[in-house]
Structure 1
Amino acid sequence: MPNPAFASQPLAQAIRHCLGLSLSGALVAMPLAASAQEGAASPDETGTMVITATALKVEVPALETPRAVSEVSREDLNERAVNSYDEVFRYRSGVISAPYGDDNSADWFFLRGFSGEDSTYMDGLRLFREGGYFWWVTEPFGLERVDLLKGPASILYGEAPPGGVVNAISKRPTEERQGLVEIEAGNKDHRQLGVDSAGPVAEHENISYRMVGLFREEDGELEGTGNQRVYLAPSLAVDFSEDTSLTLLASYTKDHGTPSKGFRPVKGSLLDTAFGRIDPETNLGEPDYERLEREQFTLGYEFEHDINSTWQFEQNLRYSRMDLFLRSLSPYTSLETDSRTVGRFLTYREGDYDAYTVDNRLVGKWFTSKAENTLLLGIDYQRFDINYRVGDGVFTPIDVFDPQYGNLSPGALRYRVEDKKEQVGVYLQDQLRLGDRWVLLGGVRHDSVDVESYSEDPTAVPYDESESQVSFSGGVMYLGDYGLSPYLSYSESFSPQVGRGPDNEAYVPSEGEQWEAGIKYTPDWLDGYMTAAVFDLKETNTLYSNVGEFIQRQGGERHSRGFELEGVGYITDQLQLTAAYTYLDTTIEDPDRGEFRAGLIPYHQASLWLDYSFEGGVLNSVDVGAGVRYVGESVNADPNSNEEVSSYTTYDAMASYEFTPSWIAQINIKNLTDEDYISGCNSWCYYGESRSVIGSLKYRW
């Protein structure tokens, strides 16, 4: 049975009203704070705390933010040999990684029970995944770290799903000269060469650069699939003065391969047939016919200027472009009466998109002997234009136990589609720190969104709608003794829904709201942190499918209630521990079926990673690590069934040896026991990743 909600709707409305009043009071108090600034005490030193701008768009210690935030550093990515973006949060709470198994065409997360498909950002600006299969991918080798802000975040980021925001931070130029050359090889024909060089430009101390490059080639989990990737990311930083700086950021990614999409009928994967179960490596597509060709390009900058000792102006801007050619096959029927054959469906996309994003921020800070006030005023703009051809259609069936390839029927109607989306957001956020104890946070935002959609498909109805939305957020935190800091927060989100229901009425935006209570713990005996959070997260106006209808209706509700524990730190100078636990109860309710448990979402997840660095003796400079991940049972959310998907446990391990300060050899094994498991089912089922062994040799300077 679902747990009772933590807060009623009238209470939420009251809090929203109070937030508006508190923000007004903060604005009135600003002149007083400014007049008292001279001679004020400086902010507390943060020591080894993690500083992040993802949660509040201003740099603050993550452990002094009344929201749940997780971070994965470059050291973590290196230690676990993360080469796929949806592996990043495997050892953090609140995240389901790779729920659809191995998919070399996209990265997939579920965040607090909600799809993270539109939750991906880089350097604070949105990465678009729209237009049907035009999915932006992120290369982990080009990242300095990855931040996760859990729960609704529309107050700062505008349109966003309720589960959270995943913000990748690009590698930047460095003042010190440094470099890396890395070679990797492993099973599944994995080969990789990475280069990373940074430092000052010639003799100019105020100009620095970074150049990151990568080539990777590897096979997919399915027979006859694989991908080649070329990645380049140049950047340049210029300090014009002590008050003004500019960082130019660019990237280029090219993928060439055969898509590996592991759709499996429930009968034949989760359930037995008279012929057994489908082999996890069996390709139900057409390896010689399917293709994935994708080129991504970004160009942008980050600008900062200190106007005076109180005000700072910041601007982030990026232009993004993607060119895509995708020809992919997936089963679209259950096994036929012969228990061997499935129908297949062709997905065909060919086109490109252009996206522009800019975020302007004015940050003001005032200090007194007993208070610190940080005001954020912002306006951001997003524009997305896509033009592509669609050629979807029914394809020839295939025998899942003895597939015979080459029987092609590629004839499908191809028609052109054009979509446009434009969003303007204005936001205000105020953070007030009283003494060394209280942190108060409040924010409000207004968004205007215009969406247009046109298709040559004669059955499609042109779409041209405008929506506006007001979002609120707020929180309070007490910085207690012994490193214990409890907090309470409220936040909202909205997601525009393109299209019309069966009544031909345009969809309205889906809306999310969350209550979260937690505690953050930074004991003096641990070089690290521990956090605990309990939350109640709800999305209304959710789209749902009615039995026998191909057009979705609106009016459903998705509801997640959960509890998270997370800890990262050094137990000793040589032993580091990373541990996480998540309890998540996610349900869906629609007028046709009532309330039912959401597919793919387990009640329980737990993970533990230990890393030990030897010092002295025969094992000097050896580093070993081992991890275990448990994912509890979930259910198949097919309306006609409710089968249980078994839990699974996988093990990972690594070992490295530092020959000299410059040379390091490392080996990583993922899914050490080669566990066969199904990662989840949602009308289709997906096998998890098989064992992966990767060896690397690194030279650093």
Structure 2
Amino acid sequence: MRHLFCSALLISGCLPGVALAQSNPHHHENEQHRKAVGTVTGRVLLADGQPAEQVSVRIKGSERGTVTAADGSFVLRAPAGWQAIAVTCLGCVGQEVAVEVRPGQTAEVPPFTLARGEQQLSEVTVTGAKSLNQRTPSAGKMPIAPLDNPQATLTIERPVLEQQQALRLSDVLANVAGVYVMGATGGTQEEIASRGFAYSSANTFKNGVRYNNGIMPEVSSLERMEVLKGSAAILYGNVAAGGILNLVTKKPQFERGGSVGLRLGSYGFVKPQFDVYGAVGESQRVAYRLNGTWERADSYRDGVSSNRVYVNPSVLFRLTPKTELIVEGDYLRDNRTPDFGIGTVDYQVSESRSRFLNTADATNATNQTSATATLTTRLSNSWQLRAVGAFQRYANELKSASRPTANVIKPGRNYGNWLRSLQRTETGENYYLAQLDLTGTFRTGGIGHTLLVGADADQYNTNTLTYTTQAYDSVNILNPDRQLGRPKATASGYDALRYNTRTLGNTRRAGFYAQDLLSLTSNLKLLAGLRWSYQETPSDVYTYPAAPAAANGPATVRENRRYDQAFSPRVGLVFQPVKTTALFASYSNSFAPQANTVTDNQGGSLPPSLIDQFEVGIKNDLFKGALSANVTAYHIVNNNQAQTIQQYLGNGLNPSYNPNFPSAQELAGQVTSKGVEVDVQSRPVNGISFIAGYSYNNTAYTRSTLYTDGSRLRYNPAHTANLSLFYSFANVFANNGWLRGLSVGATGYYVGDRLAGRNPRLLYDKDGKLLTDTNKYLSLPNYVLFDASVGYAYERFSVRVKMANLLNELSYNVHDDNSVNPIAPRTFAATLSYKL
């Protein structure tokens, strides 16, 4: 017998059998009716101080009621006079407060804090508390419901991660249509993209703060993953057009609890993990959470291994009833063998899963530390102020053989022979962020407003050291055991490499933004906003002498400076013919600054590329919210993409070409991305829950002097599809204490037509004759991943067994033509856990 804590019980937000009429503060009553009613506002909190969403609030003795919003607030129209406002949810103590409602005025009631009820319930399991269109992503910065947002959003919650035993971010992304892994350079990271655009570190966030995605993030610490598809430039400035990811880690709780677990798997995989939380002592003002894990594994790849440690502490301070501070940090140390895959010969992959081409002493060592402080204060029931300060330290040292590329390995007498070289780099990065957001709701006449006004500033200090590259030996990529000899002049190893260049960067950015959701009528809403961004990108490149006698001596320096600014507008319209369906259309704009090394034909800087995005879609909550089905179509155009100025065109000498700047670029390219995405999610109904999705994308050059019109950009699958189905036998064996803990599940993920390699170019001689380019596409095989799992829970113990890639499909994640990494074969994993 257990108490059922209210924070886990927001499935319906109200007691069974109570039908509530949703109040609508934006409804246009006639003037006579207005005189007879007023407005009651307030806020509902959970016992740990977090907002309580979807909790029922009603006028006692009537059918008039509403549910709380994402920030726990509510607005309720009430008849004039003294009224009893009742707040109820299953498993918590109902609360009431008396308030005098004056005609045409607003009465604010003190915040409700939900306490645990005394009712004893037997082994109740609660999952899937909200539908897809009821989860407001915190990355959106505004307390607006997804049905009111003219943008495709998606949230994957913790129960799904546990059901699927997600280990890497790619496992989580398999539940999101149109967001995919585009490569795995060196086997040390997962390169992610959406709608034809890569997610750099500027597009990946943790708790709303950018983080360096050169390392694989730890999934065991996540409470949920949020996806904002399409442009988010108005909120975050310089981000790619495809969308952003926000990883939300587990938060402190005042209720004591936690878990310990052990995961074992194929190829020597071992991963113990823990998670504990509770109040500090008997305090009702300070709570903590600490979770962490250690992981080590070998690999299906010969000679590859990994070892990582992760710790994620956080503390919540309830400073006042309306103000709280969360301080979060994490530390990740990841050491693994760099692995650039199996190589290609003339842009052809020779099938293999295990062939390893790096040196035995190659290493990739990464340390990442972060700290974030978030202060939130409610100025009133309608206005909130949020301030964020953050710091992140990223350090990486890579010692590796160079990448085997298709353009240096040719068919013929020495088929597959490769001259292997050694390389070494050291990278350090300090990142700082300050952010301030003011959000609130108000009315002007008959129009309701949900307003966001904010500002942010961040800074990257980077220090990148490269060493000289030296020939090491010769091997055959098809038979690495066949060593062909070591060059006579080779160095003895990585430690003998000399300094080559050191680049010091100091990127500084600032932005101001405002966004307003206008409720024009009860079913017509307009979202409009604008951001101004400013960015400085100075860097100093130090080049060390090449002569051995002067190794690591004084260096020459070249200074680079860039100053960019841009406006990012956004406008969207939402029409809701019924409360559970929303049709939307939107336009947004984002920008992409050029690299410091990019110049025009006079040596000057090129302005940023501007990207226009158009999006239309429909969002549906069906069967009383049990099923959500959303469809989105998009059209993205980069009208001024930077591309290299060619010396010759089809009609002879290119007048834009300047021999003094042979690598100069111009804004003469156009890239268009268009596609459709379908996302379907259910809440658990009779033990069944599922997630499904489909995406189609075509990203191609639609105007270029360098590439043929219609040439597809690499890495982007034309089609993806996903399906996850889980079933709990709790209902079937409700009276059987042993069998009711049984559950089964299956997931499928399809990745269709993809291209890698290098886009063939249009190259001409001085007479305008088209030459044959050495660049070629590399076609990758489609594949379907099919996983199956069985779980069993009894009292505090649970075990889940998973078989991944049951069909043993073979395909590859490829970057260019030089990091061809096979996907994992059929593997086994089992997780045993115990709730504290």
* TM-score in terms of structure 2 length: 0.74
Residue in 1 that maps onto 2:110: none
Residue in 1 that maps onto 2:365: 293
Residue in 1 that maps onto 2:801: 667
Q: Would the alpha carbon gap of residues 39 and 368 (structure 1) be closer, same or farther in structure 2, given more than 3 Å must change?
A: farther
Q: Does structure 1 retain, via aligned residues, the 8 Å contact 2:345–2:416?
A: no
1:523 partner amino acid: L
Residue in 1 that maps onto 2:713: 598
Aligned partners of 1:514 and 1:620: how far apart in 2? 49
1:319 partner amino acid: F
Q: Tell me which moved more, 175-184 or 386-395.
A: 386-395
Aligned partners of 1:700 and 1:61: how far apart in 2? 33
Matches within 5 A, 1:410-429: 410=494, 411=497, 413-429=499-515
Establish whether residue 553 from structure 1 lines up as the match of residue 665 from structure 2.
yes
Q: 1:403 aligns with which of 467, 480, 483?
A: 480
Q: 1:335 aligns with which of 398, 409, 412?
A: 409
Aligned partners of 1:515 and 1:668: how far apart in 2? 41
Establish whether residue 176 from structure 1 lines up as the match of residue 255 from structure 2.
yes
1:697 partner amino acid: L
Q: How far apart are residue 348 of structure 1 and its match?
A: 1.9
Q: Does structure 2 retain, via aligned residues, the 8 Å contact 1:626–1:653?
A: yes
Matches within 5 A, 1:550-629: 551=663, 553-555=665-667, 556-570=669-683, 572-588=685-701, 589-595=703-709, 596-615=711-730, 616-617=732-733, 619-629=739-749
Aligned partners of 1:63 and 1:319: how far apart in 2? 34
1:188 partner amino acid: Y
Aligned partners of 1:346 and 1:193: how far apart in 2? 35
Q: How far apart are residue 342 of structure 1 and its match?
A: 2.6
Q: How far apart are residue 350 of structure 1 and its match?
A: 1.4
* Matched position secondary structure for 1:456: strand
Residue in 2 that maps onto 1:500: 598
Establish whether residue 631 from structure 1 lines up as the match of residue 751 from structure 2.
yes
Aligned partners of 2:800 and 2:739: how far apart in 1? 14
* Matched position secondary structure for 1:63: helix
Aligned partners of 2:145 and 2:505: how far apart in 1? 40
Q: Would the alpha carbon gap of residues 355 and 414 (structure 1) be closer, same or farther in structure 2, given more than 3 Å must change?
A: same
**CA deviation digits over 1:510-541, x for unaligned, max 9?**
22221000000001255131100000012244
Q: 2:827 aligns with which of 677, 684, 692?
A: 692
Q: Would the alpha carbon gap of residues 676 and 552 (structure 1) be closer, same or farther in structure 2, given more than 3 Å must change?
A: farther
2:353 partner amino acid: P
Matches within 5 A, 1:10-49: 39-40=38-39, 45=68, 48-49=130-131
Q: How far apart are residue 112 of structure 1 and its match?
A: 0.9
Q: How many equivalent residue pairs?
A: 652
**CA deviation digits over 1:101-127, x for unaligned, max 9?**
585422221111111123101111111
Aligned partners of 1:697 and 1:247: how far apart in 2? 31
Residue in 2 that maps onto 1:9: none
Give 5+ residue unaligned stretches, structure 1. 1-35, 130-134, 271-276
Q: Would the alpha carbon gap of residues 223 and 554 (structure 1) be closer, same or farther in structure 2, given more than 3 Å must change?
A: farther
Q: Does structure 1 retain, via aligned residues, the 8 Å contact 2:239–2:592?
A: yes
Give 5+ residue unaligned stretches, structure 2. 1-34, 42-65, 70-128, 545-555, 648-660, 761-774
Q: How far apart are residue 679 of structure 1 and its match?
A: 3.9
Q: Would the alpha carbon gap of residues 40 and 452 (structure 1) be closer, same or farther in structure 2, given more than 3 Å must change?
A: same
Q: Does structure 1 retain, via aligned residues, the 8 Å contact 2:347–2:778?
A: no
Aligned partners of 2:269 and 2:646: how far apart in 1? 44
Aligned partners of 2:463 and 2:348: how far apart in 1? 37
Q: How far apart are residue 281 of structure 1 and its match?
A: 1.3
Residue in 2 that maps onto 1:390: 466
Q: 2:812 aligns with which of 675, 678, 682?
A: 678
Q: Does structure 2 retain, via aligned residues, the 8 Å contact 1:40–1:369?
A: no
**CA deviation digits over 1:435-468, x for unaligned, max 9?**
4312210110111100111111279842111111
Q: Does structure 1 retain, via aligned residues, the 8 Å contact 2:189–2:215?
A: yes
Residue in 1 that maps onto 2:541: 455
Establish whether residue 483 from structure 1 lines up as the match of residue 580 from structure 2.
yes
Q: Tell me which moved more, 199-208 or 391-400.
A: 391-400
Q: How far apart are residue 367 of structure 1 and its match?
A: 5.1
Establish whether residue 109 from structure 1 lines up as the match of residue 196 from structure 2.
no
Aligned partners of 1:188 and 1:102: how far apart in 2? 21
Aligned partners of 2:833 and 2:728: how far apart in 1? 18
* Matched position secondary structure for 1:205: coil
Residue in 1 that maps onto 2:378: 306
Q: Would the alpha carbon gap of residues 546 and 661 (structure 1) be closer, same or farther in structure 2, given more than 3 Å must change?
A: farther
Q: Would the alpha carbon gap of residues 173 and 181 (structure 1) be closer, same or farther in structure 2, given more than 3 Å must change?
A: same
CA RMSD of aligned residues (A): 2.7
1:500 partner amino acid: V
Aligned partners of 2:672 and 2:470: how far apart in 1? 35
Q: How far apart are residue 413 of structure 1 and its match?
A: 4.5
Residue in 2 that maps onto 1:88: 172
Aligned partners of 2:475 and 2:322: how far apart in 1? 65
Q: Does structure 2 retain, via aligned residues, the 8 Å contact 1:100–1:687?
A: no
2:302 partner amino acid: E
Q: Would the alpha carbon gap of residues 66 and 560 (structure 1) be closer, same or farther in structure 2, given more than 3 Å must change?
A: same
Q: Would the alpha carbon gap of residues 607 and 371 (structure 1) be closer, same or farther in structure 2, given more than 3 Å must change?
A: same
Aligned partners of 1:322 and 1:279: how far apart in 2? 33
Aligned partners of 1:594 and 1:315: how far apart in 2? 48
Q: Does structure 2 retain, via aligned residues, the 8 Å contact 1:143–1:170?
A: yes
Aligned partners of 1:636 and 1:374: how far apart in 2? 44
Matches within 5 A, 1:346-385: 346-366=422-442, 371-385=447-461
Q: Tell me which moved more, 172-181 or 256-265.
A: 256-265
Q: Tell me which moved more, 159-168 or 493-502.
A: 493-502
Aligned partners of 1:614 and 1:394: how far apart in 2? 61
Structure with bigger gyration radius: 2
Q: Does structure 1 retain, via aligned residues, the 8 Å contact 2:184–2:190?
A: no
Aligned partners of 1:86 and 1:300: how far apart in 2? 25
Establish whether residue 322 from structure 1 lines up as the match of residue 380 from structure 2.
no
Aligned partners of 1:180 and 1:554: how far apart in 2? 56
- Which of the pair has the greater relative contact order for Cα pairs under 8 Å at 6+ separation? 1
Identity rate of aligned residues, in percent? 23
* TM-score in terms of structure 1 length: 0.87
Aligned partners of 1:153 and 1:268: how far apart in 2? 36
Residue in 2 that maps onto 1:8: none
* Matched position secondary structure for 2:183: coil
Aligned partners of 1:355 and 1:102: how far apart in 2? 23
* Matched position secondary structure for 1:620: helix
**CA deviation digits over 1:566-594, x for unaligned, max 9?**
10104732111111000101103431223
Q: Does structure 2 retain, via aligned residues, the 8 Å contact 1:444–1:471?
A: yes
Residue in 1 that maps onto 2:354: 281
Residue in 2 that maps onto 1:29: none
Residue in 2 that maps onto 1:274: none
Q: Does structure 2 retain, via aligned residues, the 8 Å contact 1:120–1:126?
A: yes
Aligned partners of 1:188 and 1:381: how far apart in 2? 45
Q: How far apart are residue 189 of structure 1 and its match?
A: 1.4
Q: Would the alpha carbon gap of residues 45 and 309 (structure 1) be closer, same or farther in structure 2, given more than 3 Å must change?
A: closer
Q: Which runs of 4+ in 1 moved over 6 A?
A: 546-550
Residue in 2 that maps onto 1:205: 284
**CA deviation digits over 1:234-258, x for unaligned, max 9?**
1000111111110011111111221
Q: How far apart are residue 366 of structure 1 and its match?
A: 1.4
**CA deviation digits over 1:217-276, x for unaligned, max 9?**
112443111211111111000111111110011111111221233262254753xxxxxx
Q: How far apart are residue 394 of structure 1 and its match?
A: 4.9
Residue in 1 that maps onto 2:122: none
Q: How far apart are residue 546 of structure 1 and its match?
A: 7.0
Matches within 5 A, 1:16-165: 39-40=38-39, 45=68, 48-49=130-131, 50-54=134-138, 56-97=140-181, 99-101=182-184, 104-118=187-201, 119-128=203-212, 135-165=214-244
Aligned partners of 2:207 and 2:274: how far apart in 1? 21
Q: Does structure 2 retain, via aligned residues, the 8 Å contact 1:611–1:625?
A: yes
* Matched position secondary structure for 2:537: strand
Q: How far apart are residue 630 of structure 1 and its match?
A: 1.6
* Matched position secondary structure for 2:594: coil
